[in-house]
Structure 1
Amino acid sequence: MKQLRTLQDMSISEIEYLLCQAETPLQKMKHDYTVVNMFFEPSTRTKYSFEMAEASLGLHRMDFTSEASSIEKGESLYDTLKTFEAIGADLLVIRHPKPKFYENLEGLNVPIINAGDGAGNHPTQSLLDLLTMKQEFGRLHGLHVVIAGDVVHSRVANTNASILEQFGAEVSYAGPREWMPDDLKGRRHLTMDEAALQADVMMMLRIQRERHVSGRDCADSYLENFGLTEMREASMQDHAIIMHPAPVNRGVEIAGSLVECERSRIFRQMKNGVKARQAVLSYILEAKGARSYEAIV
């Protein structure tokens, strides 16, 4: 059963295929499929880009809200998912605050797309980020990508660092040391001044306040000490670009004037989010349809 829990579920060739498909002219699905969007955490870009992708593919969509479900009565996540399987859902798109929520669901016979699991993984975000970089540079191999900010709490950082290195990119981190993983896995920890000078891609992260138990206060000095200021942007290489998974906190991790500056690709990332999710939805549902056809024949 093809599904997308993490990018580690896929080979490099499969990921390259998805990136190619994301740039291919859109074709509506040939069969009627129903997708259930299940977001247990707030989301704007991921949720609505999935909905836009589903609409453009001609899919039937169902929106799930936990507040209006039997989860409020104590039903488990597994039993809720089995319910949607039983009533005929073809695919479940799930964002959940629990890391690796998809584990221990072995009895589930409907594919899942992980739309973000706590501070764990965010595979479709990584796909759209890879797509944005390939559009810009024509390659991933040899790029120096600096992931800057609240790295340890970020599912985007966790997923991107691993997959970029598999494609031959160099990954470094910047930000407060207490927001770095204990094990940097050989990656350098740069100051923001060093990062601005060296990065081909400056990938900024917001402060994940909702995942903090205690620690650094988000003081006014954060931008000056650890953010991307106008002065640092001016020192970046001519070809370098700025990325951010959003939502952006202007004036905190990045100067507000830089969000839409010439080297920013933040809104292109959002546009690419629809393309990347169209590719993933098609890939999984086409595999499901092929199996169904073979079973009928």
Structure 2
Amino acid sequence: MDISNWTRKSLLGIEELSHNEITQILELAKLFKKETEGDMSNKNYLRGKRMVNLFMEPSTRTRIAFEVAAKSLHADVISVAEQSSSLTKGETLRDTAMNIQALGADAIVLRHSSPGASLFLSKIVDVPIINAGDGAHEHPSQALLDLYTLQDKLGTVEGKKITILGDILFSRVARSNFWALSKMGAEVTLAGPSTLVPKQFESMGARVSHNLEEALQDADAVMLLRIQHERQSSSHFPSLAEYTKVFGLNKDRKQWLKKGALILHPGPVNRGVELDSELADSPQSVILDQVSNGIAVRMAILYLCTMQGATNL
């Protein structure tokens, strides 16, 4: 596969990517997924490279997927969590990253609570920075794996209607997915209570709905999002029970879904709040497909950013 036209050293967000760049990542992910189904023992794509996962917020799926992706490419992986880093002693993020680079890192995968943290580091260190989530700004690898999953199941997202339901205001997943889906030709509806889905999102080109039945009825896929309590300084609705009563997707509201509509969730799922277990575990759910596809997508990201300037895979 020719990768000579990939010019980005870092992956900081989806908004800045072109249609062709997104397609290139997904095509490479498809190749890697096929290879991982066979023997990867002699596929030394990133042997000798050192990847550092610097996670300043809790993570299960993203951190482990990046670890598995790097190891699948035969890179060395070191994971650092905030509580085990010198950041707890007052060291700045800048100094932490500079020291990680001095220790021989070839790439840094960063998750941080501050929007723009990955962009900030990309201007300081010489190694690639891969954004694994920066505050409520972006989560590019999640959007790419969601897009991969949708294309795998639907064939294409062009012309498809995708509803993202839940806490849009504080969700980096919603923002990255909106950019990814829009760039690939999907019609995106952002749905939820007006306090979490303000009309200002219409200026981005999204359709905004505060009526659950209306938001679901024509959707080819619906992506549920949890309530981001950790980013809210005050409550944006009376209670979780009230949210569930009005916007929770349950077996009774399943009838509002189009036949064959896919159900997605980036996790963690708050069962019984935004999504009932019966639907989370149903044949329509592709939640676990999202998780497994995340490995191949992150393999593609790591390879493209680390091997920038290479001509062929």
Specify the TM-score bucket, using the shorter chain as the normaliser.
over 0.9
Q: Is the 8 A contact 1:196 1:233 kept in 2?
A: no
- Give the aligned partner of residue 29 of structure 1: 45
Does 1:283 find its partner at 2:304? yes
Matches within 5 A, 1:137-152: 137-152=154-169
228, 232, 239: which one pairs with 1:208?
Answer: 228
Structure 1 range deviating more: 255-264 or 103-112: 103-112
Does 1:57 find its partner at 2:76? no
Does 1:271 find its partner at 2:292? yes
Structure 1 range deviating more: 20-29 or 130-139: 20-29
Amino acid across the alignment from 1:32: G
Give, in angstroms, the shift of residue 163 of structure 1. 2.0
Q: Is the 8 A contact 2:47 2:73 kept in 1?
A: no
Change (3 A) 1:219 1:107: closer
SS of the residue corresponding to residue 164 of structure 2 reads strand
Q: Normalising by the residue count of structure 2, what TM-score does the alignment of the two structures yield?
A: 0.88
**Could you list the runs of 4 or more consecutive aligned residues of structure 1 that deviate by over 3 angstroms after TM superposition?**
25-28
Give, in angstroms, the shift of residue 182 of structure 1. 4.9
- Give the aligned partner of residue 218 of structure 2: 198
Q: Normalising by the residue count of structure 1, what TM-score does the alignment of the two structures yield?
A: 0.93
SS of the residue corresponding to residue 142 of structure 1 reads coil
Amino acid across the alignment from 2:103: I
- Give the aligned partner of residue 169 of structure 1: 186
Q: Is the 8 A contact 1:120 1:158 kept in 2?
A: yes
274, 287, 291: which one pairs with 1:253?
Answer: 274
Does 1:20 find its partner at 2:37? no
Gaps of 5+ in 2: 1-7, 36-42
Residue-by-residue CA offset, 1:77-102 (whole Å, 9 max, x unaligned)? 11111111112100001100001112
206, 219, 239: which one pairs with 1:187?
Answer: 206
Give, in angstroms, the shift of residue 104 of structure 1. 3.5
- Give the aligned partner of residue 295 of structure 1: none
Residue-by-residue CA offset, 1:207-249 (whole Å, 9 max, x unaligned)? 1111111122433232220111212212311131111111000
Change (3 A) 1:189 1:7: closer
Does 1:98 find its partner at 2:114? yes
SS of the residue corresponding to residue 258 of structure 1 reads helix
Give, in angstroms, the shift of residue 69 of structure 1. 2.5
Q: Is the 8 A contact 2:137 2:172 kept in 1?
A: yes
SS of the residue corresponding to residue 37 of structure 1 reads strand
Q: Is the 8 A contact 2:110 2:118 kept in 1?
A: no
Distance 2:105 2:150 in 1: 34
SS of the residue corresponding to residue 102 of structure 1 reads helix
SS of the residue corresponding to residue 15 of structure 2 reads helix
Gaps of 5+ in 1: 292-297
Distance 1:187 1:86 in 2: 43
117, 141, 144: which one pairs with 1:124?
Answer: 141
Distance 1:103 1:52 in 2: 24
Q: Is the 8 A contact 1:192 1:226 kept in 2?
A: yes
Distance 1:85 1:14 in 2: 27
Residue-by-residue CA offset, 1:82-131 (whole Å, 9 max, x unaligned)? 11111210000110000111233323101110000011100000000000
238, 241, 249: which one pairs with 2:259?
Answer: 238
Amino acid across the alignment from 2:229: R
Q: Is the 8 A contact 2:265 2:287 kept in 1?
A: yes
SS of the residue corresponding to residue 252 of structure 1 reads coil
SS of the residue corresponding to residue 264 of structure 1 reads coil
Identity of aligned residues (%): 40
Work out the number of aligned pairs and report it. Answer: 290
Does 1:155 find its partner at 2:172? yes
Residue-by-residue CA offset, 1:254-283 (whole Å, 9 max, x unaligned)? 112110101111111011111110111111
SS of the residue corresponding to residue 62 of structure 1 reads strand
Structure 1 range deviating more: 138-147 or 61-70: 61-70
Give, in angstroms, the shift of residue 187 of structure 1. 2.5
Q: Is the 8 A contact 1:196 1:232 kept in 2?
A: no
8, 15, 24: which one pairs with 1:8?
Answer: 15
Amino acid across the alignment from 2:241: D
Distance 2:298 2:120 in 1: 25
Amino acid across the alignment from 2:19: I
